[in-house]
Amino acid sequence: MPDEQKELRARAFWSGTITFGLVSIPVNLFPGTRSQRAALRMLADDGTPLQRRFFCEKQNREVDRDEIVRGYETAKGKYVVITDDELEALEPKKSRDIDMRRFVPAEDIDPLFFERSYYLAPAGESTKAYRLLAETMEKTRRAGIATFVMRGKEYLVAITAEDGLLRADTLRFADEIRSPQAVGLPEVPKVKAADVTKFRKMIKTNSSAKLAEKELEDEYSERIRKLAAKKEKKDEDVYELPDGFEDDGGGEDDDDVQVIDLVEVLKRSLKSGNGGARKSARKTAGKSARRKKAS
């Protein structure tokens, strides 16, 4: 196995197979985004990190985790307890297949449905089928609607291709999307043609040929980091935990892991698999977070 494939497989947090018709393409899944926002932790006035506790108002006491059961609310204030065994029986069948059941025009997927972005990298030694699928989907501007199971949960995803790479975006289900009417928005008023012309000129004046990465920078988080660094340098309001203190909070989300320089590894992997990628992909994995209606 080429070194590039070994590197990708070692860093993947899920692996499976894209299936449609008689075609099977082994792939590895990587997170396409990461949270870089400055996180603020809740502390006591002596600097000790606070921990979450479960409290029962009726019994006026803290509840241990082994005493907690799950309940589904059927009506306001009415719950039906669902046991762990019952939940396990309802879990989707374990599978390593990404079942791509239908292809649709990519622009037909409303941005409201998009949730999280992932990269799909070829997992097998041969990348021919992967490259054929990516190039065909990109040229036809199609998205594959698929389902797959990860950590006991079934996900609905849209698989798209751009610059020779496949990407999977998890989708919200239809009943999770709210309409403007459900939100309670007022009806859109009619506007005068002269006002539209005026706004068109204003938009044109402030338009750019393409979206600059600088426009997507998190300035607020950067200001927090600079403030914290400044106060730490002055030793102002700085607390350190005593030796042996265990902080059980602030753990990162399962999918919120550091994104590797996947593009460079993918390029080497595709080149070693008969022919090379058509184009270089994005320069950084972070750019996959942007949303394009036609992507």
Show Cβ contacts of residue 205 under 8 Å, excluding neighbours closer than 6 positions: none
> For the range 153-158, what are the long-range contacts, defined as Cβ-Cβ under 8 Å and sequence gap of 24 or more?
153/91, 153/92, 154/92, 157/98, 157/118, 158/106, 158/109, 158/113, 158/114
H or E stretch covering 140 = helix 128-140
CA atoms in the 13 A half-sphere facing the CB of 22:
0
Distance CA 286, CA 281 (A): 12
Q: Average pLDDT of the chain? A: 80
> Which of 96-105, 208-217, 223-232, 258-267 has maximum average pLDDT?
96-105
Pick the closest to residue 56 from 44, 64, 48, 45 (CA basis): 64
The answer to whether 11 and 26 have CB atoms below 8 angstroms apart is: no
pLDDT digits (tens, 9 = 90+) for 223-266: 888 888 888 888 888 878 777 666 655 444 445 444 445 556 66
Q: Residue range 194-207: average pLDDT?
A: 90
Per-residue confidence (pLDDT) for residue 80, from 0 to 100: 92
Q: d(Cα 246, Cα 224) in Å, to the nearest integer?
A: 25
Residue boundaries of the structural domains of the chain: 3-33+77-186+257-289
* 6-37 pLDDT per residue, tens: 666 667 788 899 998 888 999 999 988 877 77
Task: Grade residue 278 by pLDDT with cuts at 50, 70 and 90.
Answer: very low
End-to-end CA distance of the chain: 32
Residues 6 or more apart whose Cβ sits within 8 Å of residue 108 = 143
**Strand 97-105 to strand 14-20: parallel, antiparallel, or no bridges (unpaired)?**
parallel
Torsion of CA 179, 181, 184, 188, to 10 degrees: 110
pLDDT at 210 over 50: yes
Judged by DSSP in three states, 290 sits in coil
Neighbours of 84 (CB within 10 A): 9
Q: What element of type H or E holds 263?
A: helix 262-271
Instruction: Categorise residue 144: left if φ over 0, alpha if ψ from -120 to 50, beta otherwise.
Output: beta
pLDDT at 63: 92
pLDDT at 8: 62
Q: What was the pLDDT predicted at 46?
A: 85
Is the pTM of the predicted complex or chain greater than 0.75? Answer: no
Between β-strands 54-56 and 78-82, what pairing exists: parallel, antiparallel or unpaired?
A: unpaired
Q: Give the pLDDT confidence score for residue 288 in this predicted structure.
A: 38
CATH no. for 3-33+77-186+257-289: 2.40.290.10
95 within 8 A of 84, measured Cβ to Cβ:
no
* CB atoms near residue 168 (< 10 Å): 24
Q: Looking at the predicted structure, is the pLDDT value of residue 70 above 80?
A: yes
Predicted confidence (pLDDT) at residue 117 exceeds the cutoff of 80:
yes
Using the predicted structure, report yes or no on whether residue 104 has a pLDDT greater than 70. yes
CA distance 79 to 71: 5
| DSSP element (H, E) containing 31 | strand 23-31
Mean pLDDT of 82-106: 89
Return the pLDDT at 289: 36
